[in-house]
Structure 1
Amino acid sequence: MVTVGIDAHKNTHTLVAVNENGKRIGEITVDARPKGHEALLSWLRDLDDVTVAVEDCRHLTRRLEADLLIAGHRVVRVHTRLMAGMRRGARERGKSDPIDAEAVARVALREDNLPTAVLAGPSRDIKLFSDHRKLLVEQRTGLQAKLRWFLHELDPELCVPSRGMRRFCVLESLATELAEKPGAVAEIARDMLSDILALTHRINAIERQLSAIVRVEYPALLQVPGMGVLGAAMIVGETAGVTRFRNKDCFARFNGTAPIPVWSSNKVRVRLSRGGNRRINTCLHMAAVTQLRLGDEGAAYFAKQIDAGKTRTEAFRLLRRRISDRAFAALRADAQLHANEPTMTVVAITLTPKRATGVQAQAAA
């Protein structure tokens, strides 16, 4: 058996092959271009029973991983801290591309249950759309905050509803108010209003695309009480494949809902985990809040914990962990449902507005 470690960079990839004892038996450096990938695959064909390990830097290795997977190789990912620890314990001193690649290979030879790379599927599309939507919402929020100050300067009595600048009727009303006002402040405000309108159309279009993908690919996750399309999309994108978690406890540790033990002697105590993926944790928190507001099974579970002597904070944390377990089971069910289906999903975002508005007409004029 041969294990090949890859140290990936923007312009070059360095490969080092080691045998089952960890001894280096081969080395090659290729360009990080299609021709270099062809040379790399040709070099791997001369090796028997190959496992390829790459440092987990997916912004650099995604194209390489795809070529390796299409060629039929098994690819595992090695976390940077594991590779760094192996390098420090090596006999060869220093840091170079071959040293790093050899460290990656030896970690893959030593460690079991490393994450396995797969071809990109719907989950990556969902993450890309979700992250892009988040960026657009942040841009819109910054413009809305600045516009409110300009509106206050132009007319202190002009009332804009809270969160109203995401509604087309409010934007049209503001456009009418600003249409006849002279001066630089009013002109900048009209430009900001036009930008907010354009961003809102794009955000709504992305939300429609996310809804279309999530409802088809992850129906079980949407059945979790309190879980909406945007929350489900964020969980799917950040999870990056539920099969890499052995059980619900590993998933809970990943998202920060598993408590951390802080006890000695015979008195068992735990504290809140401040780590984990905070975006998934936020989605689980909002699902818990929604369950309490709707008064369904989540509210009954919360009341049961209060009756058992838990504080409201402890009961809420237990509810959030319960939703984490439900989400994990739903993700497993959805993964099993689509196990035999094609993994590639192509989705095009249509940014054409559904209807023309007064703001658009004024912007065109």
Structure 2
Amino acid sequence: MTATTRALPDLVGGADTHADTIHVAAIDRLGQDLGDTEFPTTAAGYEAALAFLSALGTVTVLGVEGSSSYGAGLAHAARSAGIEVREVTRPDRAHRRRRGKSDSIDAYEAARATLSGRADAAAKLQRIEAIRALHNSRRSAVKAGTAAMNQIHQMLTNSPDTVRERYRRLAGKALVNALAGSRPAVCSDPVARAVLTALKALAKRHQFLSGQAEELARQLRELTRVANPHLLSLRGVGSNTAAALLITAGANPSRLHSESSFAALCGAAPVPASSGRTTRHRLSRGGDRRANHALHTIALVRMSNDARTRDYVNAQRHKGRNDPEILRMLKRAIAREVFRSLTRDLAPPQLADLRPLRQSKNITLTAAAAAMHTYITKITRTEKGTFPDYDLAQRYRTWLQAA
């Protein structure tokens, strides 16, 4: 008679992650400790960690603390191996005072949080982290470029007359290009030469940062289009605002279970501010401020460019509501649209038929732009889908079909 092989139990894994090491632990379905050990944060270390857990049983789920930072490599390796990965938040201080702290304790605690359901959020995807990296890098480039431009204007104000009079009538890109192409060495006055040298350095810095921001914005636009093309089709949503909303949603997947929770996450939920005979709500001051700023930007774009939004704003003003109240209502409505786009995997409107339809009827871009009361470049970008205007696309298609 041959001996039967004992089946390995199902287990839940946990990982405490650091810059150079990861500590993994395993527990069974009853919460009993099965084993733990430490591995380096290398590809071989991640493979060895998963092999260690698999030797103890069948890994059903792995809880990782810091799945978007120190634990990103382990989370990616686990997903590639077909293991479900959960995001584990850091235990509160009161719990740590009771249980103590060590890498082994934290790894077991990550596993128990996953088993109990306290860690129920999916691990953050590397695609969202890529968007976060590009978004943050672009923001810093734009901020540094603005600081350089402010320095240029301040320095020109205090510069010698020969320098100030030469450049005072220029502004924006023309000023930067003129300063970047200047020749400080020809100035006979040493003070003017030094100031112009500094201005030239600032102008070249601004040019470099502007080019860097444009390249990062291009890459960010491609990633956001892949991540959620429908989000970019919403009125007033650009690659920058879409990136901010995708980052907020990707970092907080457990808070996307309803429209109201997402609105609260973005600081767009109504907060009661009534007193006496006055019944009103105010803007929320909580939530993710970058997501709130993205909703604010979208609302401002719609207020200036969208006819339906302008009509709505005028109607609310006639009812006696002020601009902050109207903005709050707009942001809440936009949050509802964004939530549907983030959670329903909607397809964006199709644009590929516009160019063939126009060419089949021998209509030039000039004639199309004149009929749509817009620029040729806007028609071209909408046809190609590079910077599409989806409202224009709908009107454009209707006009082409009737032409």
1:194 aligned onto 2:200: no
Q: Give 2:117's aligned amino acid.
A: E
Partner of 1:317: 328
1:171 aligned onto 2:183: no
1:129 aligned onto 2:144: no
Partner of 1:349: none
* Gaps in structure 2 of 5+ consecutive residues: 1-9, 349-403
CA positional deviation for 1:218: 3.2
Distance 1:143-1:329 versus aligned 2 partners, 3 A rule: same
Partner of 1:222: 232
CA positional deviation for 1:51: 1.6
1:38 aligned onto 2:59: no
- Answer whether contact 1:2 1:17 (CA < 8 A) is retained: yes
CA positional deviation for 1:281: 0.6
- Answer whether contact 2:68 2:125 (CA < 8 A) is retained: no
Q: Give 1:332's aligned amino acid.
A: T
Q: Give 1:314's aligned amino acid.
A: E
CA positional deviation for 1:35: 2.5
* Gaps in structure 1 of 5+ consecutive residues: 339-365
1:239-274 CA-to-partner distances (Å, cap 9, x unmatched) read 22786511222211211111346899xx99765422
Distance 1:23-1:312 versus aligned 2 partners, 3 A rule: same
Partner of 1:97: 103
How far apart are the structure 1 equivalents of 2:119 and 2:347? 23
Q: Give 1:107's aligned amino acid.
A: A
Q: Give 2:151's aligned amino acid.
A: K
CA positional deviation for 1:40: 0.8
Q: Does 1 or 2 have the higher relative contact order (CA < 8 Å, sep 6+)?
A: 1
How far apart are the structure 2 equivalents of 1:43 and 1:59? 22
How far apart are the structure 1 equivalents of 2:129 and 2:330? 29
How far apart are the structure 2 equivalents of 1:55 and 1:190? 48
- Answer whether contact 2:23 2:37 (CA < 8 A) is retained: yes
Partner of 1:142: 147
TM-score by length of 2: 0.72
Deviates more, 1:211-220 or 1:42-51: 211-220
Deviates more, 1:224-233 or 1:5-14: 224-233
- Answer whether contact 2:273 2:281 (CA < 8 A) is retained: yes
1:7 aligned onto 2:16: yes
Partner of 1:247: 258
Partner of 2:62: 52
Counterpart of 1:80 in 2: which secondary structure?
A: coil
1:183 aligned onto 2:193: yes
Q: Between the two proteins, what is the percent identity of the paired residues?
A: 27
Of the three residues 296, 305, 310, the one matched with 1:299 is: 310
1:106 aligned onto 2:138: no
How far apart are the structure 2 equivalents of 1:252 and 1:119? 22
1:98-121 CA-to-partner distances (Å, cap 9, x unmatched) read 111122222222225722126523
1:204-258 CA-to-partner distances (Å, cap 9, x unmatched) read 2222333344445533222322222322222223322786511222211211111
Distance 1:310-1:40 versus aligned 2 partners, 3 A rule: same
- Answer whether contact 1:87 1:103 (CA < 8 A) is retained: no
Distance 1:34-1:218 versus aligned 2 partners, 3 A rule: closer
Counterpart of 2:123 in 1: which secondary structure?
A: coil
RMSD: 2.9
Partner of 2:82: 72
How far apart are the structure 1 equivalents of 2:50 and 2:232? 41
Q: Give 2:106's aligned amino acid.
A: D
Distance 1:32-1:205 versus aligned 2 partners, 3 A rule: closer
Distance 1:277-1:241 versus aligned 2 partners, 3 A rule: closer
1:158-207 CA-to-partner distances (Å, cap 9, x unmatched) read 4366xx43x2x332233456654452221121111111111112212222
The within-5 A match list for 1:206-217 is: 206-215=216-225, 217=227
- Answer whether contact 2:125 2:250 (CA < 8 A) is retained: no
Q: Give 1:53's aligned amino acid.
A: G
Distance 1:205-1:176 versus aligned 2 partners, 3 A rule: same
1:285 aligned onto 2:296: yes
Counterpart of 1:39 in 2: which secondary structure?
A: helix
How far apart are the structure 1 equivalents of 2:104 and 2:281? 44
- Answer whether contact 1:175 1:190 (CA < 8 A) is retained: yes
Distance 1:160-1:81 versus aligned 2 partners, 3 A rule: farther
Partner of 1:28: 37
Counterpart of 2:152 in 1: which secondary structure?
A: helix
How far apart are the structure 2 equivalents of 1:51 and 1:228? 36
How far apart are the structure 1 equivalents of 2:119 and 2:314? 39
Aligned length: 326
